[in-house]
Structure 1
């Protein structure tokens, strides 16, 4: 008898639990079914108000002529011929400095002055040589006349001619030395001028007032950043696609993402030490004033263009490590039903991106070109337990 009672009690309990489950499902039967389908098929349904709020724009894939690119890294580089040490071949002491670091200077501009015993001696030697040369030129003409009249000897004439040639060489040497110093010695200048050998910017100043200067020692350094170019590291596998004349673009993060362009003018012939990459050199069009050497850059080498199916970049959303677009499947006056489709992207340029549909049975029309992120966030909300909105 006890066993029968226990058995009946268990049956009653099972029956009650079953009734409770049915009654919970009966409360919202349509919502429960729709949610299951949506989670499986990644579908989203909006009502008219939501559709309008999303600002959705529909369209189809379009053919775009997009440029294929190779992404490379590199840095800005200044050629040796566009940087210079400011030196002098005379010893002395700095008496005046006329520039600061960062100043723009022109070739031949005076950067500093110095007192130099060697410079004073050079000017004296120049003055003596000039005077001797003037005397010997007059004496040579006199001896030449006398020689023509057979008044003097051949030996005397040749001696004056030899002395004249020696003094000419000496005077020319002293003139060249003063010219190298950009000197105004002929006008009686006393201070040694330290001048700029190239036009550019003052990069460093290694002296101060009273500093002794030694022959050939660097007093300052100048750089001409207008001749900066790019050294780009291209890997072995990409080299066959690289050629001289190809366009290069890169963005400057310190200039509000300003895009700068240039062209490849030289391709290295050896691998960089310790790598399987080759240095490719590219000029820079209209070098910005504040661009300096040694900046790290991410650049794009444009290797050609081709016509591909494309969509605006905002039409593509990323989720779960994959890429998707949305397609409008059904619509009536108050309901808009969208399906999320996986795609593969390719070339991206000027706001458009190449699109490859992974499911070839999908009709590439009524694609959401604008508003995809709204649909994706709506989908995430529903999957998170927010239910299905109508």
Structure 2
């Protein structure tokens, strides 16, 4: 009986010793994984979930700005209403709403008996002109040699000039209808005319259907060339004196509030809108964008001087106590964490990117950006976390709390 009790006692002590040693090893391993003070390490899954954005400081003017709203517009020469020169019935439609077209591209074809009659008139007058040209040359030669009658020469000359003028007029009308005068003179008569695009751009409106009769004044298509799109702001009377050509504008488009664009003022209106007492300010967009559409609502702020300061988005800055911080990509800290950790990277791929918390002093705030001044200098190529900084701070504090 004593032997059994002794064996049970020995087993219990052994079990307690193993558990204690295992717990101690776990604590040591957890301590090794905590990393370096003031540094947070994110794995690939965390980076993907946060959609972390890295970038540099942005130089912005937060002191002397004029806020303004407006919309995107295109210059008059980059917008076109396509009409028919002569009325006709729609035979074919070759484009659809939203299609990209180039100058001279066929948009539709029209047919009508008047087109045939016009070509017949031109063919007839062309033949008549050919005859009168030879007759005019002959009468002129006779007159110059004092052989022919002056009256016959004047009559032939008058008929020749009249027919030639009519020939040129009909020829121009054919060219306006995109018909070839040379083909008509050869007897090739077309019963249709082509409607072609006068500019490069996109089809905004298609106002016809097959078989519809369209008159010369009807608008068949509306085309806009968005390559020349610009920002059209409205500035009120009390701020107009502060606006000059060449000033920079930061603005957002209504359907893309998270993306900021820039533009440069190239023209200032010279008269006020009657109701709003505001003038139009036209600014050329600096970025190359393909999805901006005329009429989109925009809001921005115009920098009226060049007092630029270092700034970051508000989401890049966190506060802890009375101090402010940002997070900077720190590859050296990542290497240090890997070196100190006893875990094999092949078995545990926890470390992907390391970010070091850096103290800054904040200043003015405007339009989602904050002025920052560095307590300690950073390399010029430093990559700074531009969003989700609060998550990085929480993740780092969670690690420190767990260690304690």
Q: TM-score range by the shorter chain?
A: 0.5 to 0.7
User: For residues 68-87 of structure 1, what are the structure 2 equivalents within 5 Å?
Assistant: 68=62, 69-87=65-83
Q: Does 1:169 align with 2:170?
A: no
Q: Does 1:345 align with 2:341?
A: no
The answer to which structure has the higher strand fraction is: 1
Consecutive unaligned residues in structure 2, runs of 5 or more: 1-33, 41-56, 326-360, 377-383, 395-403
Match of 2:50 in 1: none
Q: Does 1:89 align with 2:94?
A: no
Distance 1:77 1:152 in 2: 68
Distance 1:138 1:309 in 2: 83
| Secondary structure at 1:305 match in 2 | coil
Distance 2:160 2:310 in 1: 84
Consecutive unaligned residues in structure 1, runs of 5 or more: 1-48, 56-62, 328-341, 357-363, 378-389
| Secondary structure at 1:270 match in 2 | coil
Distance 1:133 1:258 in 2: 66
Q: Does 1:67 align with 2:61?
A: yes
Q: Does 1:294 align with 2:311?
A: no
Contact 1:325 1:372 in 2 (8 A): no
Distance 2:267 2:202 in 1: 26
Cα deviation for residue 220 of structure 1 reads 1.4
User: For residues 232-251 of structure 1, what are the structure 2 equivalents within 5 Å?
Assistant: 232-251=233-252
Cα deviation for residue 267 of structure 1 reads 1.1
| Secondary structure at 1:86 match in 2 | strand
Match of 2:230 in 1: 229
C-alpha spacing 1:178/1:66, structure 2 compared with 1 (3 Å): same
User: For residues 193-212 of structure 1, what are the structure 2 equivalents within 5 Å?
Assistant: 193-212=194-213
292-301 vs 187-196, greater mean Cα deviation: 187-196
Contact 2:175 2:181 in 1 (8 A): no
Q: Deviations over 1:86-105 (max 9, x none)?
A: 11121221111111111111
82-91 vs 247-256, greater mean Cα deviation: 247-256
C-alpha spacing 1:373/1:288, structure 2 compared with 1 (3 Å): closer
Cα deviation for residue 268 of structure 1 reads 1.7
* Structure index of larger Rg: 1
Match of 2:144 in 1: 148
Cα deviation for residue 53 of structure 1 reads 6.8
TM-score by length of 2: 0.63
C-alpha spacing 1:230/1:236, structure 2 compared with 1 (3 Å): same
Distance 1:315 1:219 in 2: 52
Contact 2:248 2:264 in 1 (8 A): yes
| Secondary structure at 1:271 match in 2 | coil
Contact 1:65 1:305 in 2 (8 A): no
Cα deviation for residue 347 of structure 1 reads 6.0
| Secondary structure at 1:282 match in 2 | strand
Contact 1:90 1:116 in 2 (8 A): no
User: For residues 325-340 of structure 1, what are the structure 2 equivalents within 5 Å?
Assistant: 325=323
| Secondary structure at 1:237 match in 2 | helix
Q: Deviations over 1:99-127 (max 9, x none)?
A: 11111112222111121111111111111
Match of 1:331 in 2: none
TM-score by length of 1: 0.65
| Secondary structure at 1:266 match in 2 | strand
98-107 vs 271-280, greater mean Cα deviation: 271-280
C-alpha spacing 1:343/1:144, structure 2 compared with 1 (3 Å): closer
Distance 1:149 1:238 in 2: 81
Contact 1:317 1:376 in 2 (8 A): yes
205-214 vs 249-258, greater mean Cα deviation: 249-258
97-106 vs 82-91, greater mean Cα deviation: 82-91
User: For residues 308-319 of structure 1, what are the structure 2 equivalents within 5 Å?
Assistant: 313=314
User: For residues 26-45 of structure 1, what are the structure 2 equivalents within 5 Å?
Assistant: none
